[in-house]
Amino acid sequence: MFEREKIEALPQYRPRAKEAKLALSGIKVADFTHFVAGPLATMMLADFGADVIKIETPEKGDDFRHYPPIDPAIQAQGAPYLWTNRNKRSVAIDLKTPDGVKVALDLIASADVLMENFSTGVMARFGLDYETCARINPKLIYCSVSAYGREGPYSDRLGFDPIAQAESGFISMNGYPDRQGVRSGSAVMDVGTAMMASNAVLLALLARQKDGLGQFVEVALFDTAILMTGFGAMQHLAVGHDPKRNGNVSPDTCPSGVFESKDKPFYINCGNDKIFIRLFDQVIGRPDIATDPILQLRGNRLQKRDEIFAVLNEAFATQPWSYWQPKLRAAAVPHGEVRTLGEALRSDEVRSRELVGRIAHPVIGWIPNIASPIRLSRTPAIDPVAAPSVGEHSMEVLKEVLHYDNVQIEALKASGALGPSIAASYS
């Protein structure tokens, strides 16, 4: 069960200005995505005004709905699902029925964007492949998110975030040199792919403004993972060396890493020579080291990392973090406390940016919410609405978007295209 009292203690979001416009007003998205990368991408569009209609299997819905923790009062709305599906409408359609496919095609015919991340070939088996959809809607932006692309020798392979981390070389770069590499605890490849997909859709919409034509858009998890290896990939291509695992220190700058104050660990990143000088002169009180002509050069400091770290560790251990933090800030030395996730979510920085709060939920009153990191002054994100239950908006969409009459809706109920619960609820 969710911790209701703690959730209710979170601040409510400030409503957007009533006169503010929506960046994606009038854009309709047929959302066939599930799990993380696809739904997070469509949520980014929904946050800024796109009408995202999530097409789900009746009853069960998106498998990600069932990831814990789940409050018993709102089954099929686990916290991870709530994180990736706010501001959407859900329609329950059985795509294994001819009538269900017909409903999907009617939605696609009037959509601006279709996004899907099924295994390769699934949309084609439903009769919802790009060629079919483009014939009925030439202006459609059809975004396909896959593991290894929709064509080529690996298009049949399934892929998840940790697999992409492993095969891209990302895992080999992280951790300590005396053991195997480690994956990121966060689904960084899924999140990165979501950002790529939402950007790709926006680019295609911009192109459509110029020529009126839609197009097929593709984003692959593996492709994103290669990019996420950062400039290490270019370093390897330039000199042929695989990056070494360096734990919390940097192979390129020194001193950069985790240090221990008297009571808390913290990270310092000396990204250039001037920061190094300020650290030792203004923070540590060692102008002799700050002005050392050898140590003032980054390359030399990398060779003397152990000596430099020994001096810093000895100094930092003498005082608590409350002593060092203001000195580091005053000297403009990049620094940060090493926090748990809970500490980060309750930090002054998060509060000052209004990143965490609570939003209304129709069943349990309130749920926590993490704000979009995108800030637009004239067309801000919409006021957040909790992720929908399975098929919550089926009747609304059938009547108001597709303009089906009662005879058509009754026929869909009878055929099983809407699933048993929807048919029973509106009988």
Show which residues are catalytic. Answer: 190
Pull the structure tokens for residue 207: 């192109």
How far apart CA 62 and CA 33 sit, in angstroms, is 8
CA distance 59 to 93: 10
Residue 228 sits at φ, ψ, to 5 deg, of -70, -10
How far, in Å, CA of 388 to CA of 89, rounded?
A: 6
Is 223 in contact with 195 (CB distance < 8 Å)? no
- Kindly tell me the sign of the dihedral angle through the C-alpha atoms of 34, 35, 41, 45: positive
DSSP conformation class of 68: S
What are the residues whose beta carbons fall under 8 Å from the beta carbon of 191, sequence distance 6 or more?
A: 36, 37, 40
User: For residue 30, how many other CB atoms are within 10 A of its CB?
Assistant: 29
Question: What secondary structure letter does DSSP report for 231?
Answer: T
User: Collapsing DSSP states into helix, strand and coil, what is residue 85?
Assistant: coil
- Which pair of structure tokens corresponds to residue 240? 């042929």
Which structure tokens are listed for 222?
């593996």
- Please give the Cα distance from 57 to 55 (Å, whole number): 7
Q: Which position has the token pair 């709305």?
A: 77
Single out the residue of 343, 373, 346 nearest to residue 357, CA to CA: 346
Among residues 153, 73, 69, 47, the alpha carbon closest in space to that of 370 is found at: 47
DSSP 148: S
Written as six digits, the tokens of 276 are: 């190094």
Measured between its terminal Cα atoms, the distance across the chain in Å is 32
**Cα–Cα distance for residue pair 291/108, rounded to 1 Å:** 66
CA-to-CA distance for 235 and 221, rounded, in angstroms? 22
